[in-house]
Each structure stands twice: as C-alpha cells, then as structure tokens.
C-alpha cells in the first residue's frame, strides 16, 4: 500500500543540526511532491516546505529560509529534511506528506511523524 | 501567525450538525482551493476535503465543504463521537513568493 515511513525521534542541543528522512513506498516517487509540516507541542500545524519528487525543486517557509534544506534520493524513494542551527522553538513533531494525485494543494498520505526535541 | 482564521472551538451532541468557518483573503482562499484536515489527538492529520468540496475515498459523506469568495466552511452532519478532533483548513498563499498556510485550527467536541 502507499505509505510514508519516517525516521525516529531525536534529541538535539541548541545550535546542532537534525536530518529527518521520509521513505516512500507503493507509488512512483518521482510523480509526486512531498511537503513537510511541523507541530509544536499543543500548537497547530505549520508548513515547513515542499520538494518536487520529479526534479527536486524546493519551496521553503520564509521563517526557516537559510536553516532548512530538503532533498530527495530517487534511488531509495526517500525525501530528507535537514534543519540547522536548532533552537528550542524548533521542538515539534515533523511530518512529511504526499500531494494528492489530482491536486498539488492537498496532501493525502502522511508519515507517522518524527519528534524532534531541542534542549540543552 | 496563521492568515487563515478559524473559531477555536465548536461542539455538538451526537446527530447534530457542526459547521466550522475558515476566513482568508484574496491571496489564499480567494484564489486557490480550500482543503480540510482532521487530526485526532496524537495522530497524523488526515485529508477529509480537497478542492473545496471533494471527499477522498473512504471519508464519510457526513463531511462536506464549501467555499465562497475568501471564506470556506466545513460541515459535519450527523455528528458522531469519533468526529471529536482538531480540524484545519489549508491552501496555498501566493504572497511572500508562495507558501502553504494552515488555519488556526478548531477543536470539535462531541458532548
């Protein structure tokens, strides 16, 4: 079945970097974009950025520009998100999600989420 | 700070209808389709409405969506206990070189 499986939870110190992976299966990886969304404890959903599965084009949330990089590895059908210079307010569950087949503005397949904790 | 405004909470008894509003602007809902996500506590969001009013396969038909101008709405008809969750509207916004925006979220409680 179509699914996205994310890497496990991590605890990082302020100023460190973290990389979250999102492995896709059950569909043609290069036919769909992947978006990343985060949710701080007790808060709402916040868009982090998007990457094309076809050509690797990216779009990032302005507030994270310069600290976030998204990549894809088509040989393993995996999308990656790296966040650098971590701060305490980056503590959140990070989700990857796939575009729907018809409509790039909606995301119908979600990963299970990865908890990233930033603490000294 | 979200540019899509939703009421923080809504509630109803089983069988009732609950409606959630999502207020945006000409740079987001006014120009692109509204989508709705349901998030049960501790789980990943689930798409329940896309393209303003379309339901993905498997989503019960008691969920319906609509859009008018710069606002969208989600209705839950015949509320059930399993509908208790947080609901978010979302779409692309073409300001700031384009970015995706989520609504502030609405907690639906089944009394």
Residue B3 has a pLDDT of 86
Average model confidence (pLDDT) across chain A: 96
Which residues neighbour A49 within 8 Å (Cβ) at sequence distance 6 or greater? A35, A36, A58, A59, A60, A61, A64, A68, A70, A81
Residue pLDDT, tens place only, B64-106 = 999 999 999 999 999 999 999 999 999 999 987 788 999 999 9
* Mutation site, B2, B7, B42, B44, interface A, largest A CB count within 10 A: B44
Q: Do B45 and A97 touch (CB under 8 A)?
A: yes
pLDDT for A72: 97
3-class DSSP assignment, residue B82? helix
**Residue pairs spanning A and B at CB distance below 8 A:** 64
Q: Tell me, what's the pLDDT at A84? A: 98
Distance CA A44, CA B106 (A): 9
Closest-CA residue of B relative to A35 is: B100
Report the alpha-carbon distance of residue B20 to residue B10 in Å, rounded: 7
Q: What is the pLDDT of residues A37-84, one digit of tens each?
A: 999 999 999 999 999 999 999 999 999 989 999 999 999 999 999 999
Radius of gyration of chain A (CA): 14
pLDDT tens digits, A80-119: 999 999 999 999 999 999 999 888 889 999 999 999 999 9
Is the separation of the CB atoms in B102 and B2 below 8 Å?
yes
- The pLDDT of residue A104 is 84
Give the pLDDT of residue B1.
Answer: 60
């Amino acid at each position: 079945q179509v699914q996205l499986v994310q890497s496990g939870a991590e605890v990082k110190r302020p100023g460190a970097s973290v990389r979250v992976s999102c492995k896709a299966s059950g569909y043609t990886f290069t036919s769909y974009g992947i978006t990343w969304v985060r949710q701080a404890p007790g808060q709402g959903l916040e868009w982090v950025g998007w990457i094309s599965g076809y050509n690797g084009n990216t779009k990032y949330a302005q507030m994270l520009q310069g600290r976030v990089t998204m990549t894809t590895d088509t040989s393993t059908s995996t999308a990656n998100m790296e966040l650098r210079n971590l701060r305490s307010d980056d503590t959140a569950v990070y989700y990857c999600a796939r575009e729907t087949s018809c409509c790039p503005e909606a995301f119908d397949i979600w990963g299970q989420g990865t908890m990233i904790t930033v603490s000294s | 700070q979200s540019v899509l405004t939703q009421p923080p909470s809504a509630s109803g008894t089983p069988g009732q209808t609950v409606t959630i509003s999502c207020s945006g602007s000409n740079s987001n809902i006014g120009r692109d389709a509204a989508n709705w996500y349901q998030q049960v506590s501790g789980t990943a969001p689930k798409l329940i409405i896309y393209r303003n009013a379309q339901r993905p396969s498997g989503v019960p038909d008691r969920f319906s969506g609509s859009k008018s101008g710069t606002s969208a709405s989600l209705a839950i008809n015949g509320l059930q206990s399993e509908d208790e969750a947080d609901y978010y509207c979302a779409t692309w916004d073409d300001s700031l070189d384009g970015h995706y925006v989520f609504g502030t979220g609405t907690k639906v409680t089944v009394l």
